[in-house]
Amino acid sequence: MLSKKAKNITPSLTIGISTKVKELIDQGLDIINLSIGEPNFCTPTPAKEAAVESIYTNKAKYGPASGITELRKTIIHKLKTENNISYQLDEIVVSSGAKHAITNALIALINPGDEVLIPKPYWVSYPEMIKLVGGNPVFLDTKMKNNFKMTTEDIIDVITPKTKMIFITNPSNPTGAVYSKEELKSIVNLCIQHNIFILADEIYERICYKDNFISIASLSEKAKNITITINGLSKSAAMTGWRIGYTAANQTISKAISAIQGHLTSHPCVISQYGAIKALNSCQEDIQTMVLNYKKKRDIALNMLEKIKDISFIKPNGAFYVFIDISSLKNKLKYNDYFSISFANQLLEQEKVAVVPGVAFGMDDFIRISYACDNDTLIEGIKRISSFINNL
Ligand SMILES: Cc1ncc(COP(=O)(O)O)c(C=O)c1O
């Protein structure tokens, strides 16, 4: 009955875990949820008010396929002032979340059989999105000693004549690693040399604990021309359910994305777009407060995790996750196919703590925890992880 594409897709493990956790909480169980990839803050009030106003002033009819002009102009201003990149209006397309923006870019550029490079560990949806458009995901290994950031040596090994695109998630989900300017420059140079497009997923850009976040497209005109920057409001402005993301790309690519979107969804929700304008224009302080808060939570988490024996991790400089190496515990726990899934399941059963198994990110020796939760939950969750590991 189902198409080959549908049969070929693995359901999202992270969404699956969230659903299971919600069911357990609804059953009254005391679950500590460290699996969520979602800010624990509320959307800033001015954004909510702007959205409500758009409803009551009847500004909620069909709009332009690439997003309302005022929002695209606001995004252009943001990219210029914060990232030092100049874009024109027809180079920005607003979509229904970053996920949709990525999918649009893939439909616009990938032909069946094209290879798309994904550094490991990767965000869970990339391979499935690539398969859905007929492309072949090609995984490339990174090293923990390089903070899981890919180097040109890692990339060269997997380039073939079919390589069309490479994904970079910066800051990374799941590791929180942030690339330096020099690291990005060498990757961009290699991509220019081999005619490879860069899909720069910068959705966590604002949640960065270093001062010098560099957006890849800002490196040079050539870099800008081969890069499709993905960003949005979900993580930075705590607007996950509003579904606002965007692509910034050259005119040819943006025109194609706009045409694709026009047929598939018309455009993202207009009410959310009005909220997004306000969030980008007037909520800087709210966003800064959130980031300072995440940084404190990161430090609490790292301080506690450092004291647990037999695990290791890299220090995250962005996003709100810690990717924890649990491979030393392999001989202490019974498992069948996937060690990280068994670990996560047993942790949930015994200590009522939900984490995401590393296999969801292509690395079975790890688990990912999120510290986007209140401090008491975070502290209690890590205490329980510690006692689970001690009792193995
Ligand atoms: C790396 C990365 N890219 C994209 C997304 C999707 O963002 P959105 O909710 O705006 O679709 C996520 C969400 O978890 C993510 O972690």
- What string of DSSP letters covers 106-159? HHHHPPTT-EEEEESS--TTHHHHHHHTT-EEEEE---GGGTT---HHHHHTT-
Residue 168 exposed, middle or buried by CB count within 10 Å (0-12, 13-18, 19+):
buried
CB of residue 37 inside a 6 A radius of ligand 1: yes
State residue 12's pLDDT score. Answer: 76
Task: Let me know: does 138 contact 118? Beta carbons within 8 Å.
Answer: yes
Kindly state if the Cβ of 97 falls inside 6 Å of ligand 1.
yes
**Helix, strand and coil percent figures for the chain, each rounded to 5:** 50, 15, 40
pTM comes to: 0.96
* Residue 253, both tokens: 């690519």
C-beta separation of 34 from 369 below 8 A? yes
- d(CA 330, ligand 1 centre) in Å: 30
Residue 154 token pair:
């890692």
The answer to whether the CB of 97 falls within 8 A of the CB of 230 is: no
CB-based contacts of 221, cutoff 8 Å, min separation 6? none
Give me the domains of the chain, ranges plus CATH numbers: 4-42+285-390 (3.90.1150.10), 61-282 (3.40.640.10)
Contact 123 CB / ligand 1 (< 6 Å): yes
Using the mean position of ligand 1's atoms as its centre, give its distance from the Cα of residue 230 in Å.
10
CA of 64: how far to CAs of 70, 232, 335, 339, in Å? 11, 18, 52, 48
User: What pLDDT sits at residue 40?
Assistant: 86
Contact of 125 with 99, CB cutoff 8 Å: yes
Name residue, tokens 């810690």.
Answer: 322
User: Ligand 1 pocket: which of 93, 99, 148, 361 to mutate (most atoms <8 Å of CB)?
Assistant: 99
Is 173's C-beta closer than 6 angstroms to any atom of ligand 1?
yes
Cα distance between residue 48 and residue 387, in whole Å: 42
Residue 58 to residue 380: CA distance in whole angstroms: 47
- Ligand 1 atom with the smallest distance to the CA of 37 is 14
Under 8 Å CB-to-CB from 267, ≥6 apart: which residues? 62, 63, 64, 65, 66, 67, 94, 261, 273
Amino acid at 243: R
- Distance (Å, rounded) from C-alpha 64 to C-alpha 262? 8
- What is the chain's pLDDT, residue by residue, as a tens digit (392 residues)? 999 988 888 877 777 777 888 888 888 998 999 998 888 889 999 999 999 999 999 999 999 999 999 999 999 999 999 999 999 999 999 999 999 999 999 999 999 999 999 999 999 999 999 999 999 999 999 999 999 999 999 999 999 999 999 999 999 999 999 999 999 999 999 999 999 999 999 999 999 998 789 999 999 999 999 999 999 999 999 999 999 999 999 999 999 999 999 999 999 999 999 999 999 998 888 888 999 999 999 999 999 999 999 999 999 999 999 999 999 999 999 888 899 999 999 999 999 999 999 999 999 999 999 999 999 999 999 999 999 999 99
For a pocket test of ligand 1, which of 12, 38, 173, 265 has the largest count of ligand atoms closer than 8 A to its C-beta? Answer: 173
User: Is residue 370 lining ligand 1, measured as CB closer than 6 Å?
Assistant: no
Q: Is 35 in the pocket of ligand 1 (CB under 6 A)?
A: no
For tokens 């616009």, the residue is 108
The count of other CB atoms within 10 Å of the CB of residue 153 is 11
Pocket test for ligand 1, best of 123, 168, 269, 356 (most atoms within 8 A of CB): 123
Q: Say if residues 14 and 334 touch (Cβ distance below 8 Å).
A: no
Tokens representing residue 196 in the block:
């490879």
Q: Is 245 in the pocket of ligand 1 (CB under 6 A)?
A: yes
- Ligand 1: residue of 103, 235, 243, 246 to mutate (most ligand atoms within 8 A of CB) is 235
